[in-house]
Structure 1
Amino acid sequence: MRAPYASDPEQSRGREFATAGGEVRGPRTAFQRDRDRIVHSTAFRRLRSKTQVFIAPDGDFYRTRLTHSLEVAQIARTMARALGLDEDLSEGLALAHDIGHPPFGHAGERALADAMAQAGGYDHNAHAVRIVARIENPYCDHEGLNLSWEMLEGMAKHNGPVAAPGWALAEIDRAFPLQLGTWPSLEAQIANLSDDIAYDNHDIDDGLRAGFLSLDQLLALDFVAELWRGVERRHPHAPRERQLRELVRDQIGVMVRDVVVETARTAAGLASADEVRDAGAATARFSETMAVEERRLKAFLYENLYYHPEQIATAERAREVIAKLFAAYSQDANTLPRHWREQLPAEEPARSRRICDFIAGMTDRYATQQCVAIYGRAPEGLSNV
């Protein structure tokens, strides 16, 4: 049953570019088409070789941006179904939420932001919208993937209203206004919370596997300790590794149930998706109690995993790769592949923005290879697991 506050693909505000002959490929809704276009995009495929937490991991067990995005989509679809929302829109937004990330994750993003300081800066959320609206061009009749208004809106502001959009998002908004000052659909808000739930818990899983985190550290958090006691009661003789996987699953389940119950409460009485947008605050949310626990968990991860000395050292080496690539391409256009060189604008800031587009699309591996091709070597120790 569709909830009254759900997005309805039959009432979509349409696409930026009209399609000749209409949409004829199969019995799909507008939001199903959006999701499928994302899945078939080059930018989505490249996520398989882009950093999630651990940079360029040597092991096959650690998450990449692709596996993380798939996990976010699974959580988003579960919550959307429970709340009577459009599952395809939530799933598509979850799958697309990280496609604007450059190589090496947040280390790469910081390097590009520094390099682009005089050309408008760089933000991976805005770049994701730029990718699907302007850079990814598989169609004959228009630029971009030509996603629906609701998909672009959700990508642009899944974190909430955007008061001061940067250059990349502002360009798209001028061409196809996205009402950046309002809240997004409930499907977008659910996708955003699914991202939090996924990385709060799956990053713990990876951190434990890599030895960067320990169970004793985690048990200092009351929320985790209570769930761990439940795992031990249910599975007292199971191997520790299996108990830890059970703990992560339990944490996800508790957080998902909390969001569904709290969001159903806050959404009660809302009669349309537009009322969600005009609510003046997020409708999808954790309960007050869970919000406190989630912030503590996130703070724990920053202190013990993301800001771990080995992570910081590796991130600095990754930042160096991106900075060196940007410098090389800026100083000598001949170092660019021919296609990108031939389309390189002569004037700033368009020139730097084009170089940024090229680097942001790289995988970790390709960025490292390009650094070696230009400079003869790459920094050692680009992977710490």
Structure 2
Amino acid sequence: MPNLAPYAADPACSRGREFPAARGGARGPRSHFQRDRDRIIHSIAFRRLRGKTQVFIAPDGDHYRTRLTHSLEVSQVGRVIARTLGLDEDLTEALCLAHDIGHPPFGHAGEDALSDSMIRHGGFDHNAHTLRVLMRLESPYPDHDGLNLSWEVLEGLAKHNGPVAAPGWALAELDEAYPLALGQWPSLEAQVAAVADDIAYDNHDIDDGLRAGFLDLDDLLTLDFVADQWREVDRRFPGAPHERKLRELIRSQIGIMVNDVIDTTRHAIAGLDASSSCDIRQAEKAVACFSPGMAAQERRLKTFMYERLYLHPEQRETAEKAGDVVARLFAAYAQDSTLLPKDWLGSLPELEPMRSRHIADFVAGMTDRFAIERCAEIYGIRPGGLSNV
């Protein structure tokens, strides 16, 4: 095992797991966090990410990103930062790979529709549902529910966006069963996973948006950060094909943002004089983050992406149709529970809100394709207009 920095999460000092391991010792010479990463990779919920929306809903093209490829790219960025800072790479990778497991079909359009359907039963939040999947729903072991991941993985996922002051019903239930110190910042590995997520989707969504024709390079060049990198790419590779220069632009931006996070985080660690992971958790603000200048550039980039891509009229029209599929599925199962598969029907609670939450668990686990097929099967008409690329 590589030498860890004193402020890193040490798998040998893990706070343990919710359920004692009843089976014989670890399968192979793996640390707690390595086992967690492997459990996530081998889970059905992780495999389903290949069929869930990242930016474009049910894309016809093979080259667009899905939640699975996005999670792999986040993992690559996170590992680089973690290795450079002397953090536990396995914990960082586990967090990166698992952070989107709670997404329902059709991305945020599906989440909004499911939350609306659940408005009288506590709503729906994909971050909390990630914990619900990993701690209760994905249950391959005979002696306990869930994957029984280490405390450090679970707290990092629970606090993906920082400390949680007012958890919703799903996270509150899980925290009551296995307290995750929601009021504190998570480990530095978890903070790195969160910023790696920003870096990956900021830049890779540009790549997909350009490929699909929803974004225009001239419009992107109105952003100083992008324009500076494009001029440098053009200077270094004046005769290169345009498509290759665009790919180099994305790589260049990722590299600059990664280096900024590393430098900023090192400076913050030095200011804290951090000598343990507890010092990181007790800090008053995030330790792994962008510099103020880069944070401002990144906010401008996000604003641009929302205006030109995520809220593009064609994207919004497709999202409305996708959300309607999720809403109609929930309504159908709520009205006639016999439409559920036998195993889900057999474990359906009789009383609310548990009954509706159980139905939401089933719908949230669907891939885009499966949701479309089930909607067509139930209503007799295949939903149309669900792919605009």
Per-residue CA shift, 1:51-80, capped at 9, x if unaligned? 000000000010000000000000000000
Q: Tell me which stretches of 4 or more aligned residues in structure 1 moved more than 2 Å.
A: 21-24
Quote the RMSD (CA, aligned, Å). Answer: 0.7
Q: Does 1:373 align with 2:377?
A: yes
CA distance in 1, matches of 2:216, 2:226: 12
Deviation at 1:22, TM superposition (A): 5.3
The one-letter code matched in structure 2 to 1:140 is: P
Tell me, which stretches of 5 or more residues in structure 1 are unaligned? none
CA distance in 2, matches of 1:361, 1:126: 14
The one-letter code matched in structure 2 to 1:110 is: D
- 2:169 is matched with 167
TM-score normalised by length of structure 1: 0.99
Per-residue CA shift, 1:341-382, capped at 9, x if unaligned? 111111100000000000000000000000000001133110
- Identical positions, percent: 68
Per-residue CA shift, 1:3-27, capped at 9, x if unaligned? 1110000000000000125532000
TM-score normalised by length of structure 2: 0.98
DSSP-derived class of the 1:20 partner: coil
Q: Does 1:260 align with 2:262?
A: yes
Deviation at 1:249, TM superposition (A): 0.3
CA distance in 2, matches of 1:336, 1:7: 42
CA distance in 2, matches of 1:56, 1:232: 34
Is 1:321–1:378's contact at 8 Å kept on the other side of the alignment?
no
DSSP-derived class of the 1:118 partner: helix
CA distance in 2, matches of 1:337, 1:204: 39
- 1:240 is matched with 242
The one-letter code matched in structure 1 to 2:46 is: F
Any residues of structure 2 matched to 1:121-160 within 5 Å, and which? Answer: 121-160=123-162
Choose the corresponding residue for 1:336, options 327, 337, 340.
340
- 1:356 is matched with 360
Tell me, which stretches of 5 or more residues in structure 2 are unaligned? none
Per-residue CA shift, 1:219-274, capped at 9, x if unaligned? 00000000000000111011100000000000000000000000011012111101
CA distance in 2, matches of 1:248, 1:91: 22
Choose the corresponding residue for 1:39, options 38, 41, 49.
41
CA distance in 2, matches of 1:182, 1:109: 27
- 1:281 is matched with 285
DSSP-derived class of the 1:79 partner: helix
DSSP-derived class of the 1:226 partner: helix
Q: Does 1:71 align with 2:47?
A: no
Deviation at 1:290, TM superposition (A): 0.3
Choose the corresponding residue for 1:110, options 109, 112, 116.
112
CA distance in 2, matches of 1:290, 1:331: 50
CA distance in 1, matches of 2:278, 2:60: 46
CA distance in 1, matches of 2:40, 2:268: 31
The one-letter code matched in structure 2 to 1:291 is: A
DSSP-derived class of the 1:59 partner: coil
CA distance in 1, matches of 2:22, 2:120: 40
The one-letter code matched in structure 2 to 1:71 is: E
